[in-house]
Amino acid sequence: MPLVKLEKINQNSSWALWKIEETAELLTKYVHLPSDDLTELREIHHPRKKLEWLSGRAALRALLDVENHSDFRLMKDDFGKPYLPERSFHISLANSFPYGAAIIHRHHPVGIDIEKPSTKLLRVKHKFLNSAEADEALDDLEKLCVYWAAKESLYKLYGRKQLSLKQNIEVSSPTNQPVSASILLNDQATQFRLDTFRWDEFYIVFSHIV
């Protein structure tokens, strides 16, 4: 079972990282999907996408095992954000082959993302960085990757569609740890703390309320 990391953040929150080394059949058996999720899985035809989809749920299953909640049913709200209708935990999932990640919190929304530095970030940086962030990152792929993963984690935490990564989410320099960030909406700023990890060639960023 390639659970490569399971870490308690504090008494209310934990996160996990799963490396895909199994077949889709073995992962499906481990996660023990309910019928609704099995239907969604069958609609994914690309083999790698299927494994990625399962890997985030495998990481979530590992977290819930520790909490003695092995079986779970995952649903999505009207904005597509996953939640556990029969559990009190807030959750977030992410994947980037060959890894899947998950985070849970007992009381507050959380977000997680996993990304690998790529030259494609150079082509799209103007879409997700404000001017101060762009001046900080320049063409540094490592910094661009952390900015992207940080903003994606906050987008998932917020869980609605009207957020602009560029205009509504501000992230401090990735060289400062922990990274601080704000969601700016309706002339109000909500502060968040972002924890950043490097694993293999990937950056994992998870966000939670300060």
Question: How far apart (Å, rounded) are the C-alpha atoms in residues 46 and 154?
Answer: 28
The low-confidence residues of the chain, meaning pLDDT below 70, are 1, 70, 210
3-class secondary structure, 120: helix
d(CA 193, CA 161): 21
pLDDT at 186: 87
Q: How many residues does the chain have?
A: 210
pLDDT of residue 119: 97
7's tokens: 């870490």
pLDDT digits (tens, 9 = 90+) for 94-124: 999 999 999 999 999 999 999 999 999 999 9
Cα 31 to Cα 75, 140, 160: the distances in Å are 15, 38, 27
The CATH superfamily assigned to 3-112 is: 4'-phosphopantetheinyl transferase domain (3.90.470.20)
Write down the domain spans for the chain: 3-112, 114-204
The whole-number pLDDT of residue 162 equals 80
